[in-house]
Amino acid sequence: MKKIIVVILTVAFCSAAFMQDKFDLKIKRETTIDSLGACQGISYQNGDIYLYGDREVGMMRKFKLVNDSLIYQHQEYKFTVNGKDVINHPTGIAYHGDGLVFIGNSIRLDPKGTQWKAVIYCVNWPGLLKTGTLDGNIIQTIDDDACIQGTRPEYVKYKGKYFVATADYGNKKNEVRLYDPEVLKGAAKTSVKGVLYKKFDCGPWVQNLFWIKNTNVLVLIQNQIEGRKWRFTYVDLEKSVAAGKESVIKVVETDRADELEGFAFLCDLKKGIAVTSSKTHNVNLMDGE
């Protein structure tokens, strides 16, 4: 029995060490992608790469990665209804392949960032990709009034069930919240009973979230200070929920001084893409080591 326990502990330790090694990130290639406005994030979906930003209207473009270059697929989508800008500052796309899709919109209402308007849209994703706009493709508009500072939806899997995770941007009272997608899709606001499932406190300046599939790891995509410098914080989701505060596995920082907005690993942990709001070098291919 003791031998079995030792073996299990050894395997767990080696797995943790292996995962931590994989979590190292270094910029391999810096590129500039135009026509996005200030790029706000990236959504990687079965080989397709969607970059979204806040040009003259909130919008998104589709790319493919060929070798180390992103190739535009000449498909653009505008987050508009009847030509009117609806999701003007997209901050997160929650997609996991066969479920509801949610897009976040975060608007700072005052210079100090003490007042925010945060809205989550449940959308008909195939319809959006087909028509190129949100016309007829908004299923529900949800006021994220449970948020503190903005919304940035991302799917996570917690104890066998998918939830829509989101987080705040600020330097105090930040938290990650898990919303039940089935309740969320029919709610007018996130404070409605049954929407919020669990939550935990986290560090400041979270711009976006990325869930590493088939793991228990959530990546907080952050700035080290407000609007500047890159930080990736890997947290153990189950331990974080249980403790009510982030359980940090590892923190990776770079010397880039601009505003990190989004990140996604691609098909494995060996390659990822980080995006910023800068006019140049806004899309960066990264190696996980």
Indicate the domain borders of the chain: 33-288
178 pLDDT higher than 70: yes
Give CA–CA dist 149/106, Å, rounded: 8
- Mind listing the pLDDT tens digit for each residue in 4-61? 443 333 333 333 443 555 678 999 999 999 999 999 999 999 999 999 999 999 999 9
The string of pLDDT tens digits covering residues 97-154 is 888 999 999 987 777 666 778 999 999 999 999 999 999 999 999 999 999 889 999 9
Superfamily designation of domain 33-288: TolB, C-terminal domain (2.120.10.30)
DSSP track, the chain: -HHHHHHHHHHHHHHHHHHHHHT-EEEEEEE---SSSSEEEEEEETTEEEEEEESSSEEEEEEEEETTEEEEEEEEEE-EETTEESSSSEEEEE--SSS-EEEEEEEE-STTS--EEEEEEEE-HHHHHHHSS-TTTEEEEEE-TT-SS----EEEEETTEEEEEEE--SSSS-EEEEE-HHHHTT-SBTTSTTTEEEEEE--S-EEEEEEETTTTEEEEEEEEETTEEEEEEEEEHHHHHHHTB--EEEEEE-S--S-EEEEEE-SSTTEEEEEESSSSS-EEEEEE-
> Residue 260 has which token pair?
């990190």
What average pLDDT does this structure show over 82-89? 97
Residue 22: the pLDDT is 61
Angle 8-249-177 (CA atoms, 0-180°, nearest 5)?
110
Mean pLDDT of the chain: 91
pLDDT tens-place string over residues 222-275:
999 999 999 999 999 999 999 999 999 999 999 899 999 999 999 888 899 999
Q: CA 246, CA 237: separation in Å to the nearest integer?
A: 8
- Tokens describing residue 142: 């949800």
Give me the pLDDT at residue 21, please.
57
Res 20: pLDDT:
54
Residue 185 has pLDDT above 70, yes or no: yes
Output the pLDDT for position 181.
97
Over the stretch 9-19, which tens digit does the pLDDT of each residue have?
333 333 344 35
CA angle 216, 243, 193 (to 5 degrees): 90
Question: Is pLDDT above 50 for 198?
Answer: yes
pLDDT at 15: 37
155, 142 Cβ separation under 8 angstroms: no
Model confidence pLDDT, tens digit, residues 60-71: 999 999 998 999
Confidence at residue 87, expressed as pLDDT on a 0 to 100 scale = 97
